[in-house]
Amino acid sequence: MNTFKSKFYSIVIISYYTGFVVLGIAFLTLIPLATSLLLREWNPFFDFLITLAISTTLGLSLILIGRETRENKSFVQWKHGFVVASLSWVILMVLCAIPYALSGHVYSFLDACFDVMSGFTTTGLVLTQDLDHLSLGLNMWRHMLTFIGGQGMIVLALTFLLKETGGAYIFYVGEGKDINLVPNVKGTARIIWKISLIYLLIGTIALWINGILIGLNPLSAFFSGLFIFESAWSTGGFAPYTQNMMFYHSFSYEIITIVFFILGSLNFGLHYAAWSGNKKEIVKNIETQSFFITTFITSALAVIALSKSGVYADAVSMFRRVVYNVLSAHTTTGFNNVYASQFAKEWGDFGILIMVVAMLIGGSACSTAGGFKGLRVAVVFKGVIADIKKLLSSERNVKLFRFHHIKEQILTDGLVKVSALIIICYMVTFTIGMALGAYYGYPLSNAAFEMASVTGNVGLSIGVTTPFMPVGLKVYYIIAMYLGRLEFISVFALIGFIIGGVKKLWIK
Amino acid sequence: MQMKKNEVKGLLAELLAVGVYIAAFYLLTFALMM
Amino acid sequence: MDKVTRALILTVVAFFLFAGVAFGIETISLNQLIETAKVMDGKTVVVQGEAISEALERGNNAWVNINDGTNAIGIWLNREDANKIKVFGDYLNIGDKVKVTGVFNRACVEHGGDMDIHATSIEVVENGYPVKEKVPSQKIAIGIIFVVVTLMVTGFYFKIMKKPTS
């Protein structure tokens, strides 16, 4: 029975669950807080203390406002899930920007929000200044946010804070992770975390050891290892230094990052399958096949393009400076080991175009990666082939087309349509952003590169992203990163909900 | 957190697959540069 | 040597000395160097920047990354030179400001295509120092006040949540 005291019970439900997500972030601030405390970084300590206080107060208040939900869990619907997912992200963006803003390393609160959104969406574009003098507490925060963002904040809240699973699936799908690994959502979230944490352990240790071997002292090797792993696995692309991957001057370090950023860009369902005994899935899966084909083509074309310009004389250089960056782009990671101006000046229009395509195609569905997603690209591609075959074959044959994704699946018209529609949404977002960049005077190739980086949540920059870029472009980038990461649907739900709510109020 | 035998095998299979992938791409680069 | 020859020699030497100064290599900002990489490739340059984080020792050599406020780049130098740098920049320190003379490489073959500078000589022009951290009293005050408020809200929360809503 509906015991909600108010007709606006949707707001009550949304408030309740959003409160838990906010509380989750509040707990997370304890990590950088402890880091700064241990390292005696007093300014960041207070910055995080203030953030902890504000988040806790807000979270508890939201839960209190929504407390009637406790007795009415069955009234939670899909629309609530989507709204909680998309609304939380906006609230969290503001809360998590507080430590950045208080640090003095950003020119404005908008820039702080930009970096937070860049972290959550695992994009990796940076407006924070003077990374080389950043506190370890704040660096811990930045890299942790991208790691959490990759996992999904809703997944985080589900795993630790909600005592029951009823309706939980709804929030989970709202964040774009619609793969059902086990019958219950909490179980699925737990598995995603287990896989990620085991890789976190292995990856941090591997990078730690390699860090020491390349000349870092044990403490910075550890932090670099942790941060770079978090950034690689989440396909984020943040690094603790101004020069990003160039700081390390190390081929071995780069290779280890490739291992983890590719693994991070793979579908969690694939990891689960491989870890449950179904190792063949790694090669049978349509997404890994698609990824192999598209990365192969883009890498080959990029190498050819850069051979023509003659910048790199040998295979090692070509692999490190071209293939690495193409893979970084395609998995939507965003680690770079060349300067932004090198993309602008050495890659040429053709090279830039290849990167744009790689960045837009992106990684696998249900992973930390961005872009259209390999699954959609493969489905649409196969859909086109299927349509051609249908046209050419006899009308009496009813052909069924299949593909393999975890299990054998049928290529239905509905699936092709949905995939194509989302790709169109990405393309529209991209095109508007590219046009906006051109409007502000950036060369078209630069506007395209940067917008592809934003849309695909990549993080490579050709030089457009600076604190001095036009505010309109900065705001559009924030919105586009957010839309791209949440794959549009939840955000549309949020907008629809707000419009619906406003209409109801108006009629009253 | 305990890891079951299957999980370890899966983990190793994934690492191997990525390793092979990287090696293949390095060879590709080498081939294209010749 | 007769007077004329001596005078000529002195003049020639003086000329080269002045020429050296007049056509002397000027310090270039890192960002400008990187932006004009194609033109500067292989040239001897002079850059000046703060040594960051630490020296990454590799056998008889080391990498020291320097940041001059416009950008940051890696300097490849020998151990001896690297040891001249005592303070490195991070959150709690401003690093030694070093003036580096060396060959700029747009895509160094020795280092897998890295854009770097192979130093021929370095000089510490300004010593680094630890930064005295000062927390503004307002921040401390706000911190304490907010924590108190949060504790009150938390108490209130547990009180209310104990009661059922219907």
Using an 8 Å Cβ cutoff, are A134 and A44 in contact?
no
ipTM: 0.96
Nearest 5°: phi and psi at A443?
-60, 145
Number of domains in chain B: 1
pLDDT higher than 70, residue C31:
yes
> Are C139 and A46 spatial neighbours (Cβ–Cβ below 8 Å)?
yes
The residue range of the domain holding B7 is: 1-34
Question: Any alpha helices (H) in A234-339, and if so which ranges?
Answer: 251-264, 268-275, 281-284, 286-309, 315-318, 324-330
Q: List residues bridging with A410 in a β-sheet.
A: A402
Contact status of A82 with chain C (Cβ, < 8 Å): no
In chain C, what percentage of residues exceed pLDDT 90? 81
**Half-sphere exposure at residue A120, Cβ-oriented, CA atoms within 13 angstroms:** 33
Mean pLDDT value across residues A479-504: 83
Q: Establish whether chain C is in contact with chain A, requiring a minimum of 3 CB pairs below 8 angstroms.
A: yes
Model pTM score? 0.91
Mean per-residue pLDDT, A89-97: 94
Least confident interval from A109-113, A199-203, A496-500: A496-500
Helix (H) or strand (E) holding C97: strand C97-108
Instruction: Name every residue whose Cβ is closer than 8 Å to that of residue A475 and which is 6 or more positions away in sequence.
Output: A110
Contacts of A42 in chain C (CB under 8 A): 133, 135
pLDDT score, position A165: 41
Which residue intervals of A310-443 are DSSP H helices? 315-318, 324-330, 340-346, 348-361, 374-392, 413-439
Rounded-to-integer distance, Cα B17 and Cα B20, Å:
5
Residue A38: pLDDT over 50 = yes
**A315–B28 C-beta distance less than 8 A:** no
Q: Provide the residue count of chain C.
A: 166
The whole-chain average pLDDT of chain C stands at: 91
Answer whether residue A172 shows pLDDT above 80: no
Whether C21 has a pLDDT exceeding 90, the answer reads no
Q: Which of residues 111-150 of C touch A (CB under 8 A)?
A: 111-116, 133, 135, 139-140, 142-143, 146-147, 149-150
Name which of A153, A100, A89, A155 is nearest A126 in CA terms: A100
Q: Compute the distance between CA of residue A179 and CA of residue A365 in angstroms, rounded to an integer.
A: 9
Distance in angstroms (rounded) separating the CA atoms of residues A11 and A13: 5
Please say if the pLDDT value at position A164 is more than 50: no
Coil, strand, or helix at residue C107?
strand
* Backbone torsion region of residue C113, taken as left when φ is above 0, otherwise alpha when ψ lies between -120 and 50, otherwise beta: left
Q: What percent of chain A has pLDDT over 70?
A: 92
Other C-beta atoms lying within 10 Å of the C-beta of residue A421: 11
Q: Which helix (H) or strand (E) holds A72?
A: none
Beta-bridge partner residues of C57: C62
Per-residue confidence (pLDDT) for residue C58, from 0 to 100: 96
Domain spanning C27-130, CATH architecture: Beta Barrel (2.40)
Say yes or no: B16 contacts chain A, CB-CB below 8 A: no
Q: Do A313 and C58 touch (CB under 8 A)?
A: no
**Does residue A256 belong to the interface with chain B, where contact is any CB pair within 8 Å?**
no
Q: Which residue has the higher pLDDT, A406 or A179?
A: A406
Question: What is the H or E stretch that residue A202 is in?
Answer: helix A185-213
| Region label for C156, one of left (φ > 0), alpha (ψ between -120 and 50) or beta (otherwise) | alpha
User: What's the pLDDT score for residue C30?
Assistant: 97
Whose structure tokens read 């370090």?
A253
Q: How confident is the model at residue C18 (pLDDT cuts 50, 70, 90)?
A: low
Whose CA is closest to A123, among A344, A367, A339, A370? Answer: A370
**Does the CB of C42 have a partner CB in chain A at under 8 Å?**
no
Average pLDDT of the residues in A438-466: 98
Report the DSSP pairing between strands C97-108 and C114-126.
antiparallel
Residues of A in Cβ contact (< 8 Å) with B26: 315, 319, 323
A301-355 per-position pLDDT tens digit:
999 999 998 899 999 999 999 999 999 999 999 999 999 999 999 999 999 999 9
Average pLDDT of span A431-437: 98
Q: Which of A135, A149, A58, A130 is nearest to A99 (CA)?
A: A135
Q: Which residues of C touch A244 (CB under 8 A)?
A: none
> CA dihedral in degrees (C25, C29, C31, C32; nearest 10)?
-40
Name the helix (H) or strand (E) containing A31. Answer: helix A30-38
Segment A29-33 shows an average pLDDT of 97
Give which of A5, A57, A345 to mutate to test C binding, by max C Cβ within 10 Å.
A57
Q: What is the pLDDT of residue A162?
A: 47
Question: Token match 């709204």: residue?
Answer: A83
Angle at CA of residue A187, ends A181 and A189, nearest 5°: 80
Which residue intervals of A163-184 are DSSP H helices?
168-174
**Residue A223 above 60 pLDDT?**
yes
Q: Measuring CA to CA, which residue among C43, C75, C68, C48 is closest to residue A249?
A: C75
Whether residue C154 contacts residue A60, with contact meaning beta carbons closer than 8 Å, is answered with: yes
Give tens-digit pLDDT for A54-87. 999 999 999 999 988 888 777 777 777 778 877 8
Could you tell me if A215 and A120 are in contact, meaning their C-beta atoms sit under 8 angstroms apart?
no
A259 chain-B contacts, CB cut-off 8 A: 15, 18-19, 22
Percentage above 90 pLDDT, chain A: 72
pLDDT for residue C142 is more than 50? yes
* Residue in the block written with tokens 């950003």: A106
Return phi, psi of residue A218, to 5°: -50, -40
> What residues does each domain of chain C span?
27-130
CA atoms within 13 A on the CB side of A259: 24
pLDDT per position as a tens digit, A376-400: 999 999 999 999 998 888 777 777 8
